[in-house]
Structures are given as structure tokens and as C-alpha cells.
Amino acid sequence: MANSTKKKHLIVVAGPTAVGKTDLSIQLARYYKTEIISADSRQLYREMQLGTARPTAEEQQGIVHHFIGSHSISQAYSAGMYEQDVLLLLEQLFAIHDVVILTGGSGLYVQAVCEGMDEMPQADPAIRRQLTAVLQEQGLAPLLAQLQQLDPVYYAQVDKANPQRVIRALEVCLSAGQPYTLFRKSSRPQRPFNCISIGLTRDRAELYRRIDQRMDQMLAQGLLDEAKALYPYCEHNALQTVGYKEIFDFLDGKYDWPETVRLLKRNSRRYAKRQLTWFHKYPAFTWFKPTQWQEILDFINYELRI
């Protein structure tokens, strides 16, 4: 039983896809005798197993994982909803544990838990559909041009290779009639727990090799069939992601299979690069290689003052 008067700590393990977050998090959860919360905006959908590299029950090694296959693709879910749900869950977990693990590669979900989300106005779903149609038919360039016109401040900051982020800003601008920037908070709420943030990285060639191997494994396990089953939901925001978009394009006849496999691997590597860029923007992260177990443990225990 946790000491209710003791400071609570959330150990955040973040980094790019295929870097080794799952294995390290399980090691840490076993060491600290605690549970894991996934911060992956795709692994929470139960229908998206292979394409998200969601850890199987066997790979979870008996450690309790939360937000793994917990929602249906038919349910609308956002980072703001995730923030509220995780904070409620942490209240329960911190009544039992002094330390909890949060792990994943979705930077916005990690930020939502550690820093809080901006309160955005309700966006019109029809606007999102229109913007998504523009993306599919004309690409990202016209959307970026529109964002530069409607909110030049956010345009200068946004990841210009991330269509979800661009569309989100545009739908707020168009729905509210005001720049997206106006709704972004300048101050963040205080959390009743301390975040100890660990970033995982590898040599680029090694990381890219692991990404390619993982994609080969996903395909061998049946990713094509999984994507076919999800094709009716192909316009769903959660499926506008690497691993599914490429196969949907194949099913639409845009590419042959060898080209589809090449794009799956290339786009997965590009996604990993964007993840690293996102997390490196935050000075709270201290970076390690997954093999540096003792160094990671020493760092955490120093932060915990053990």
C-alpha cells in the first residue's frame, strides 16, 4: 500500500516507434512493482492491433497495462478525453503505488497528462471532413497555405509534416472564426504528482533497421487483412496514420504491393524522425539508450531520492 502523504511520481518513458519502450517499461514496472499506462493514441483502439505494434498479452509479461485495446475505432476519442481519463486513473493507482509508468510515442498524449491540454472550442465535424477531403485530393500544401493566412503565429510553430496537427488547427480557426493560437494556454495546471521524463533513442541506422524488421513482421502476421477489415473506417482520424494509409492507397489501386511495402517502411522511418523532433523540443526529457538499464535506474532513483 502506498504512503498517502508521500510525493507521487509518474515515470514517463517516451521515444520513437520501435526504439524499445515496451521492454524497458515492463522492466521498470517489475522493478518498482507498479502498473503501466499507455500513451499511444492508436494502441488504445482494439481493432488496430498489428498496425500499431500493440503489445500482446504475452509481451505484457503479466504487468497490468491500461489504455491498450480499451476503446473501439467507432468511438470518438481525443487527447483531452485521454487527459481526463488518465488523471482519474492516476488517482486510483497512486492510492496503491508511489510510482506509476506512462509510456508511448504520442507526444500530445504525454503532454496532456504531464502539462494539461488547451481548452478548444467544439469543432464542426463537417469542416473536418472537408479538410480531410482536401488533404486526400490535393495534399497538405493548400491546407498549410490556408493556415498561414488564418493563423500565421501557429503556422510558424506547427510541424508542417503532420497533417493531423494542421487540420486540427484549421478546424478550430474555421469553426470559431478566430486563430487557433488564441485558445492555446500560456500557463499550465499544476499536477499533484512529479513527472520523471526519460527519452529513449538509438543510433539512427539501428533504429531504422528495427523499424524495417518490425514492418516485415507486421506484414507476415497479417497487417494487410487487418487493414482490409478497417477499410470501412478509412476516413476515421485514427486511421490517418502510417501503417494503414499506405495499405488503403493500395486497396484503392494507387500503388502496387512492392511500392506499398516500400512506402510503409519509408513513412515509418519518417514518423520516427518526427517523434524524436517532437520530444527533443522538451527540456524535461533526459535521454538514454534502452540498453543503459543501470544508468536509467540510477537517474530515476536519484529523482525519487531513493
The region that residue 213 occupies, defined by phi over 0 for left and psi between -120 and 50 for alpha, beta otherwise, is: alpha
Q: Which residues of the chain have pLDDT under 50?
A: 1
Q: What is the pLDDT of residue 4?
A: 54
Phi, psi (degrees; rounded to nearest 5) at 305? 60, 40
Identify the pLDDT of residue 281. 87
Q: pLDDT at position 3, please?
A: 57
Check: CB of residue 19 under 8 Å from CB of residue 200.
yes
- What are residue 198's DSSP bridge partners? 13, 286
Q: Which of 247, 282, 278 is closest to 265 using CA atoms?
A: 247
Burial 210-239 (b: 16+ CB within 10 A, else e): bbbebbeebbeeebbebbeebeebbebbbb
- Topology (CATH level 3) of domain 9-117+187-304: Rossmann fold (3.40.50)
Please check whether residue 193 is in contact with residue 37, taking contact to mean a CB–CB distance below 8 angstroms. Answer: no
CATH 1.10.20.140 fits 125-183, yes or no: yes
Closest CA to 153 of 177, 173, 125, 139: 173
Region of 160 on the Ramachandran plot (φ > 0 left; ψ -120 to 50 alpha; else beta):
alpha
Question: What pLDDT was estimated at residue 126?
Answer: 86
pLDDT in tens, 234-265: 988 889 899 999 999 999 999 999 999 999 99
Q: Where exactly are the structural domains of the chain?
A: 9-117+187-304, 125-183
10 Å CB burial of residue 207 (0-12, 13-18, 19+) is buried
Q: Please list, in sequence order, all residues whose beta carbon lies within 8 angstroms of the beta carbon of residue 219, skipping any fewer than 6 positions away.
A: 261, 264
